Structure 1
Amino acid sequence: MVPPYRVLVDTNFINFSIQNKIDIEQGMMFCLNAKCTPCITDCVMAELEKLGQKYRVALRIAKDPRFERLPCVHKGTYADDCLVDRVTQHKCFMVATCDRDLKRRIRKVPGVPIMYLAGRKYSVERLPEATLGRGISKILISDPRSSEDLS
């Protein structure tokens, strides 16, 4: 996986980013120190539309032209299943989610990094193929202006 990184974004990642006042594209680029393209599938977009008024800001952000829209060929698939299927078939994506169950499912797919929110900033968890079965390798990328230690 090389820059520019294509990052599949989940519904709750958008929502948590709004709550923490983080611009998604800028936050990703700051975290990875590289150009990133946030990607959103039709299934995630449909999930946002179904959630209604409470998620109208998240829907507006998802429709931002900086987000790459990925069409889905299936009908009526749960958004999490769609994301897992996509990264299983095409390992050129990173997944951005704060959903514990989705993270657990993505970890089973070798070589797919997971971006999530930790302490009001984005962090990345990677599962290098060499460490599979021997534990999880986590890489936390912090704000260099921050005086907090990485843990």
Structure 2
Amino acid sequence: MSINVLIGKAKKTRKFAQVKRRLSIKDSKLLNIKKDVEVKDTGPKLTQQNVIHSGMFFNYNENLVPPFQVIVDTNFVNSSIQNKLDLHKSMMDLLLSKCIICVTDCIIGELEKLGHRYRLALQLVKDPRIKRLKCSHKGTYVDDCIVERVQLHKCYIVATNDKDLKKRIRKIPGVPIMYVKRHQYQIERIPFSITSK
């Protein structure tokens, strides 16, 4: 016994595509909007200019003079240890003058929080040759502390390998950035005329 089942074809209904409505250039809606915009633009144009530090008179920071003051970040110290670079000697070789290495209280606090793995970096930072800068704030992120200090006093070179901190410092005019690359220190945004004085 076979049962014949008739399977019918489904009816295909014609689907209508959605039509995008376009406005013509001469449409009354657009003409009213253009008239409103023209009325608003007739006022005086205001431009905002950033206040430039007085030491930046000759397109470079005149406050950067030997002996250079270098603020050192935690990851810069750690990468210097990994690449077996002496902080003082390598900086003097790069800048061709005496350098004063500076560390804030926040940086020392961060190294202490990082614990046992960074004990050598902490020991290096507590060296009496390194100048310790006092911080007036408490519980601030280290990058914020460095950026704040550099904005107030434009006499520092910032030594860091942190990409985010580099981006933030590049927005501040006249502040050079030192970093470790290919087993040596490199610096960006420092004019050659400073090192030749």
Please tell me the TM-score bracket, short chain as reference.
0.7 to 0.9
Note if 1:25 corresponds to 2:85. Answer: no
1:48-105 per-residue CA deviation (whole Å, 9 max, x = no partner) reads 0000000000000000111100000000001110000000000000000000000000
Q: 1:139 maps to which residue?
A: none
Q: 2:73 maps to which residue?
A: 10
Q: 2:98 maps to which residue?
A: 35
Q: 1:82 maps to which residue?
A: 145
Alignment equivalent of 2:130, drawn from 59, 67, 77: 67
Q: 1:44 maps to which residue?
A: 107
What is the SS of the residue equivalent to 1:55? helix
Q: How many aligned residue pairs are there?
A: 128
CA contact (8 A) 1:110 1:127 kept: no
Cα RMSD after superposing both structures: 0.9
Q: 1:114 maps to which residue?
A: 177
Q: Which has the larger radius of gyration?
A: 2
What is the CA–CA distance in structure 1 between the aligned matches of 2:144 and 2:185, rounded to whole Å?
A: 23
1:94-132 per-residue CA deviation (whole Å, 9 max, x = no partner) reads 00000000000000111000000111000001167xxxx
What is the SS of the residue equivalent to 1:40? strand
CA contact (8 A) 1:48 1:55 kept: yes
Alignment equivalent of 1:102, drawn from 158, 165, 173: 165
Bigger proportion of residues as strand? 1
What is the SS of the residue equivalent to 1:65? coil
What is the CA–CA distance in structure 2 between the aligned matches of 1:98 and 1:11, rounded to whole Å?
A: 9
What is the SS of the residue equivalent to 1:21? coil
What is the SS of the residue equivalent to 1:8? strand
Alignment equivalent of 1:124, drawn from 164, 179, 187: 187
What is the CA–CA distance in structure 1 between the aligned matches of 2:173 and 2:90, rounded to whole Å?
A: 25
CA contact (8 A) 1:107 1:127 kept: no
What is the CA–CA distance in structure 2 between the aligned matches of 1:127 and 1:104, rounded to whole Å?
A: 16
Q: Using structure 2 for the length normalisation, give the TM-score.
A: 0.64
Q: Using structure 1 for the length normalisation, give the TM-score.
A: 0.83
State the shift of 1:20 in Å.
0.3
Mark the runs of 5 or more structure 2 residues left unpaired by the alignment: 1-63, 192-197
